[in-house]
Amino acid sequence: MSVPKLYYFDIMGRAEMIRLVLAAAGKPFKDIRFSFEEWPKSYQKKSPFGLCPWVEIDGEVFGQSVAIATYFARQNDLYGKTDKECLQIDQLLNVIQDFLALSTKIFKETDKDKKVNDSLKA
Ligand SMILES: N[C@@H](CCC(=O)N[C@@H](CS)C(=O)NCC(=O)O)C(=O)O
């Protein structure tokens, strides 16, 4: 397998979990980071679902952060050893996804009062 290439913004965000799995596994990868300005101009069209992160493995591209992270975890014996351990991992991954969806909504809100209100409700 060639060294995987991981594409994402120059932030932690949804790619950090993948970076952490690969780091924990001691696997080298190309950490390709781009700016918010570069994204629509040079990168979005290359991504599988018009979203990032995505990974390129042996010339094939794959999207969806959780699918990518769990793939690398399974490949490197870092996923659950039993179905119940996998369930524990998956439930936490889904909690993180819920949190990210909520925090993204608040981050993108331009109405200051609504932003504060949504943050207090979260
Ligand atoms: N379910 C997807 C969500 C991906 C996603 O929403 N990515 C955001 C960045 S965190 C994105 O691509 N934003 C750029 C855009 O919407 O144009 C995943 O987990 O990979």
- Closest residue to atom 18 of ligand 1, CA basis: 64
List the pLDDT tens digit at each of the 122 positions of the chain. Answer: 799 999 999 999 999 999 999 999 999 999 999 999 999 999 999 999 999 999 999 999 999 999 999 999 999 999 999 999 999 999 999 999 999 999 888 988 999 888 888 777 77
Instruction: Provide the H-helix boundaries in the chain.
Output: 16-25, 38, 65-75, 83-108, 112-121
What's the 108 CA to ligand 1 centre distance in angstroms?
A: 13
What's the 99 CA to ligand 1 centre distance in angstroms?
A: 14
Cα separation, 48 vs 63, in Å, equals 6
Cα dihedral sign for 36, 43, 33, 104? positive
Write down the pLDDT at residue 120.
76
Tokens 């493995």: give the residue.
57
* CA-based radius of gyration for the chain: 16
Cα separation, 68 vs 83, in Å, equals 19
Write down the pLDDT at residue 13.
92
Does ligand 1 lie within 6 Å of residue 55's CB atom? no
Write down the pLDDT at residue 15.
97
Q: How many CB atoms lie within 10 A of CB 72?
A: 24
Does ligand 1 lie within 6 Å of residue 64's CB atom? yes
Write down the pLDDT at residue 104.
87
